[in-house]
Structure 1
Amino acid sequence: MKAFAFSALVAGAVAALVVAGSRVDASSLETVETQNVKAPSFSLKTADGKAHTLESLTKDADEVVFYFIGHTCPINTKAYPYVHQFANTANGKKVKFVGILDGGKAETEAWTKKSGAKYPILMDAEKNTIAAFGAQRSPWFVVVDKKGNVVHADKGYSADQLKSLSDRIAKVEGKTAPTLKLEGAPTRLTYG
């Protein structure tokens, strides 16, 4: 099995991260910038039955932001109102925003309705895709480029992380980033 090494910036220090095979392991890191690390392939459906694969999502976008959702996670419940300030408007021509939820149809429909998500939410009741991406906490964000490479990952959310991710999306889209209302957001990365 091939192993790929890449650098990661964690709390102001550079650390090494090894990715083996098609599993992304960023469990000990907070924020990761990568190069040429392939995202794992998957095929998941939305609650209405529409199938999506990594390839179908990345073919028409410069980047896809995957938001890994623990539907019963109390931290994620606090995070999504902040996330939705840019996620619900991120599905432009160059960036797609996609949720991957750790539940089946009933859980996905309930979470989508409760949260007001306006982007696709993929069901991963078996958690195989979640595990393949190494997303061990919620919320967790992974950015994949059009070549299928993982280019960024965040374990958790904070005011700075949300602003940085929103700025990244806006830059790729060639737009001005929205002004986010981040009062009450944690000052350091937080996850459940």
Structure 2
Amino acid sequence: MKSIKVLLVVAFLAIVGIAQAQTLPAVTLKDINGKTVQTDKLSNDGKPFIISFFATWCKPCNRELSAISEVYADWQDETGVKLIAVSIDQAQNINKVKPLVDSNGWEYDVLLDPNSDFKRALGIQMIPYVIIVDGKGNIVYKHNGYTDGAEKELIEKVRELIK
């Protein structure tokens, strides 16, 4: 009986450890310039980075990316953080992504996920959805939805990681 309890505790700790150390899945995407990108290789030279899932038709997504854009240069100067925006627009709307990015002056790396493979591999149901990845490639924060000012929470999480 005692060995069963020990085994259950060890199994529980292993499951908790695996859940806490989630890393990015391997999905092949293209950026808005047509370059192939492997998602499990995304990095920021050992510094944290943010992945924001959006679509051209998603108003809260666009508000969030615009709000971050206003402070992005300051964030980069202070923390070195990088933002990677991932469009989930379907193939027939993919040609709207680059004009949206350009017209808003977003200086993010932008990836295209027209089949939602990356989104699905991460178990994301709704957008906007934001992930923070630490400098070691571990997903350390996830957030769904956007309300004005929520970007302040993102930078606070990044600041905690670089302390």
TM band (smaller chain): 0.7 to 0.9
SS in 2 for 1:81: helix
SS in 1 for 2:26: coil
> How far is the alpha carbon of 1:136 from its aligned partner?
2.0
Corresponding pairs, count = 146
**% identical equivalent positions:** 21
Q: Contact between 2:49 and 2:83, CA under 8 Å: does it hold in 1?
A: yes
Code of the aligned partner of 1:97: L
Normalised to the residue count of structure 1, the TM-score between the two structures is: 0.63
The aligned counterpart of 2:86 is 100
Higher percent of residues as strand: 1
1:75-86 residue pairs with structure 2 within 5 A?
75-86=60-71
Q: Contact between 1:60 and 1:94, CA under 8 Å: does it hold in 2?
A: no
Distance in 1, matches of 2:68 and 2:113, equals 20
Aligned residues: CA RMSD: 2.9
Higher percent of residues as helix: 2
The aligned counterpart of 1:60 is 45
Distance in 1, matches of 2:76 and 2:34, equals 20
Code of the aligned partner of 1:168: K
Q: Contact between 1:63 and 1:143, CA under 8 Å: does it hold in 2?
A: yes
SS in 1 for 2:124: coil
- Given the alignment of the two structures, is residue 118 of structure 1 paired with residue 107 of structure 2, yes or no? yes
The aligned counterpart of 1:46 is 31
Distance in 1, matches of 2:107 and 2:125, equals 24
- Given the alignment of the two structures, is residue 136 of structure 1 paired with residue 129 of structure 2, yes or no? no
Q: Cα deviation per residue 1:89-135 (whole Å; 9 max; x = unaligned)? A: 54567422100001354122122123321011101111100111222
Q: Cα deviation per residue 1:75-98 (whole Å; 9 max; x = unaligned)? A: 223333212223455456742210
Q: Which has the larger radius of gyration?
A: 2
Q: Contact between 1:68 and 1:135, CA under 8 Å: does it hold in 2?
A: no
Normalised to the residue count of structure 2, the TM-score between the two structures is: 0.72
Measured at CA, do residues 157 and 172 of structure 1 come closer, stay the same or move farther in structure 2, by a change above 3 Å? same
Measured at CA, do residues 133 and 91 of structure 1 come closer, stay the same or move farther in structure 2, by a change above 3 Å? farther
Measured at CA, do residues 52 and 94 of structure 1 come closer, stay the same or move farther in structure 2, by a change above 3 Å? farther
Quick one: higher RCO (CA 8 Å, sep 6+), 1 or 2? 2
- Given the alignment of the two structures, is residue 162 of structure 1 paired with residue 151 of structure 2, yes or no? yes
